[in-house]
Structure 1
Amino acid sequence: MFKPTVGPIVGHTTTDHARIFLRGDRDNKLVFAGIRHRRKGETNWSKGQFVQLEPHRDMSDVIVLKGLQANTYYEYQAGWFSPLSPTHTVATIQELPLQWPRTLYCLRTQDAENHAPRAYIVGSCRYLRITAGVPSLPGLGDRIFAGINRIAALADPPISAVLMTGDQVYLDDLNKLAPDRTYKSILFKYRTVFSQPHIARLMSGVPTYMMLDDHEIEDNWPANRTVNDDVLYANAMSAYELYQASHGPAHELRHDGTINKALNRYWYTFAHGDIEWFVTDSRTQRNLSPDNRRILDETQEQALLHWLVHSRARVKFVVTSVMFYPDSKRNDGDAWQAFAEQRMRLLETLRHGRIKNVIFVSGDVHGSMTSRLRHSQDPEFEVNTIVSSPLCNSRLLPFAKASDFIFDAPLAGNDSGEYHYELTSNVVSQDNFARLHVTAQNVQVSFHDRNGSLLQTVEIGLR
Structure 2
Amino acid sequence: MLKPTVGPIIGHTTTNHARIFLRGELHKDALVFAGIRYRPFGNERWSKGVFAQLTNVRDMSDVITLNDLTPDTEYEYQAGWFSPMSPVHTVESVQELPLQWPRDPYRFRTQSSQHATPRAYIVGSCRYLRMTGGVPASPRHGDRIFAAITHLAQHAEPPISAMLMTGDQVYIDDLNFIAPDREYSEILNKYRTAFSQPHIAKLMSSVPTYMILDDHEIEDNWPDNKSKSDSYLYKNALAAYELYQASHSPAHELLASGHVSRDLHRYWYQFAEGDIEWFVTDSRTRRNLSADNRRILDEEQEQALCKWLIHSPARVKFVVTSVMFYPDRKRLGDDAWKAFPEQRLRLLETIRTHRIKNVVFVSGDVHGSLTSRLTHSEDPDFEVHTIVSSPLCNSKLLPYAKASTFILDQPLAKTAAGDYRHELTSAVISEDNFAHLIVEAEHISVRYHDRKGKLLQSIQIKL
SS in 1 for 2:102: coil
Alignment of 1:93-104 (within 5 A): 93-104=94-105
1:50 aligns with 2:51: yes
Paired amino acid for 2:316? V
Contact 1:331/1:337 (<8 A) preserved: no
1:440 aligns with 2:448: no
Structure 1: distance between partners of 2:42 and 2:120: 25
SS in 2 for 1:67: coil
CA displacement, residues 400-447 of structure 1 (integer Å, 9 cap, x when unaligned): 000010111000011110000000000000000000000000000000
Alignment of 1:379-418 (within 5 A): 379-418=380-419
CA displacement, residues 191-231 of structure 1 (integer Å, 9 cap, x when unaligned): 00000000000000010000000000000000000110111
Alignment of 1:49-68 (within 5 A): 49-68=50-69
Alignment of 1:33-432 (within 5 A): 33-432=34-433
**CA offset at residue 133 of structure 1?**
1.4
SS in 2 for 1:317: strand
SS in 2 for 1:93: helix
SS in 1 for 2:77: strand
Name the CA shift for 1:416/1:334 in 2 (closer, same or farther; >3 Å).
same
Contact 1:331/1:338 (<8 A) preserved: no
1:13 aligns with 2:13: yes
**Residue 460 (structure 2) aligns with:** 459
**CA offset at residue 331 of structure 1?**
4.1
SS in 2 for 1:333: helix
Structure 2: distance between partners of 1:76 and 1:27: 24
Contact 1:11/1:20 (<8 A) preserved: yes
CA displacement, residues 132-169 of structure 1 (integer Å, 9 cap, x when unaligned): 11110010010000010111111000000000000000
RMSD over aligned CA atoms reads 0.6
SS in 2 for 1:392: coil
Contact 1:162/1:206 (<8 A) preserved: yes
Name the CA shift for 1:119/1:143 in 2 (closer, same or farther; >3 Å).
same
Q: Which runs of 5+ in 2 are unaligned?
A: none
Structure 2: distance between partners of 1:175 and 1:121: 30
Structure 2: distance between partners of 1:228 and 1:332: 26
Range that drifts further, 163-172 or 21-30:
21-30
Paired amino acid for 2:180? P
**Residue 24 (structure 1) aligns with:** 24
Paired amino acid for 2:297? L
Name the CA shift for 1:125/1:90 in 2 (closer, same or farther; >3 Å).
same
Paired amino acid for 2:213? L
**CA offset at residue 88 of structure 1?**
0.6
Contact 1:127/1:392 (<8 A) preserved: yes
CA displacement, residues 5-33 of structure 1 (integer Å, 9 cap, x when unaligned): 00000000000010000000002211000
Paired amino acid for 1:305? C
Task: Give aligned pairs, total.
Answer: 462
Structure 1: distance between partners of 2:366 and 2:431: 11
Paired amino acid for 2:68? G
SS in 2 for 1:180: coil
Contact 1:140/1:392 (<8 A) preserved: yes
SS in 1 for 2:335: coil
Contact 1:278/1:317 (<8 A) preserved: yes
Contact 1:175/1:219 (<8 A) preserved: no
**CA offset at residue 103 of structure 1?**
1.1
Structure 2: distance between partners of 1:178 and 1:250: 33
Structure 2: distance between partners of 1:253 and 1:460: 34
SS in 1 for 2:334: coil
Range that drifts further, 422-431 or 130-139:
130-139
Contact 1:442/1:460 (<8 A) preserved: yes
**CA offset at residue 178 of structure 1?**
2.4
TM-score (norm 1): 0.99
Contact 1:172/1:178 (<8 A) preserved: no
Structure 2: distance between partners of 1:298 and 1:433: 32
**CA offset at residue 261 of structure 1?**
1.0
Paired amino acid for 2:21? F
CA displacement, residues 258-280 of structure 1 (integer Å, 9 cap, x when unaligned): 11010000000000000000000
**CA offset at residue 332 of structure 1?**
4.2
TM-score (norm 2): 0.99
Structure 1: distance between partners of 2:406 and 2:273: 33
